Homo-oligomer: A and B are copies of this chain.
Amino acid sequence: MSNQNIYDNQIFFDGYKKLRSNPSAANDIVEKPALFSLSPNLQNKSILDIGCGYGENCVEFIKMGASSVTGLDISVKMLEVAENENTSPNIKYINKSMTDLNEIAEKYDVIFSSLAVHYIEDFDKLIKDVYNLLNQGGYFIFSQEHPLTTALLTQNYWTCNEENERIHYNLTTYALEGERKVTWIVDGVIKYHRTMSSIINSLSNAGFIINKMLEPIPSKEIMNQYPSYKRYIHKPDFLLIKAKK
């Protein structure tokens, strides 16, 4: 099921909205700063945001000087929030699955995607489609769940000590690529595990030059403020890549 639209499930949507409103969410503290740190100068650039969700990043790209932003998402409910909360004359939202990027006729200078590509079964197709949508010299900048997270078939992630501190990450089935059914807000959310080498080779085979990779961890201050973030010492949660056409 490569065009899964879990975000239009009401229970999921409500749970997700609550999760994202938490000011200490890993997305805000770890993933988002890393994603923006990879951005080139966006002045007068045309941007595509794949899996834009609420459109929060789309508004940021406009603030950073982008001349136009297209936000694409499979979920009607997510785009309703985007149209209400994150509008601009230069932002256009499109309801479309990222499996159908080949239907888009425009070209873009920079394509972003935040925490969406691990929902896609056919990564090679996605990467080729993104490559075709970029102007020459353009960048694809994406984040995804780290392969060390997606690797596991069960959610038996950590071994803890008696004080309930995480002492090691229980890594299993890293080499076994494919579907993972996980419980995240609701049961049966489907993700796809790919190894680091598989991700790198898809990008390289499509013609991309790997410019930079990040496996971000929070600052010491954040770890002291939210001790559960000390887990990042052992295992990153996110993988980010900046690739050039």
A155 to chain B minimum Cβ distance, whole angstroms, is: 13
Can you list, as one digit per residue, whether each of A210-240 has a CB less than 8 Å from chain B (1) or not (0)?
1111110100000000000000111110010
Can you list, as one digit per residue, whether each of A190-207 has a CB less than 8 Å from chain B (1) or not (0)?
000001110011001000
Q: Does A172 contact B (CB under 8 A)?
A: yes
Residues of chain B with a CB closer than 8 A to A217's CB = 175
A213→B201 contact, CB < 8 A: yes
A209→B209 contact, CB < 8 A: yes
Find A212's partner among B148, B176, B204 (CB 8 Å cutoff). B204
B175→A236 contact, CB < 8 A: yes
B175→A148 contact, CB < 8 A: no
Q: Does A11 contact B (CB under 8 A)?
A: no
Contact status of A148 and B171, CB under 8 A, knowing A211-B204, A213-B196: yes
Residues of A with Cβ closer than 8 Å to B? 148, 156, 159, 167-176, 195-197, 200-201, 204, 209-215, 217, 232-236, 239
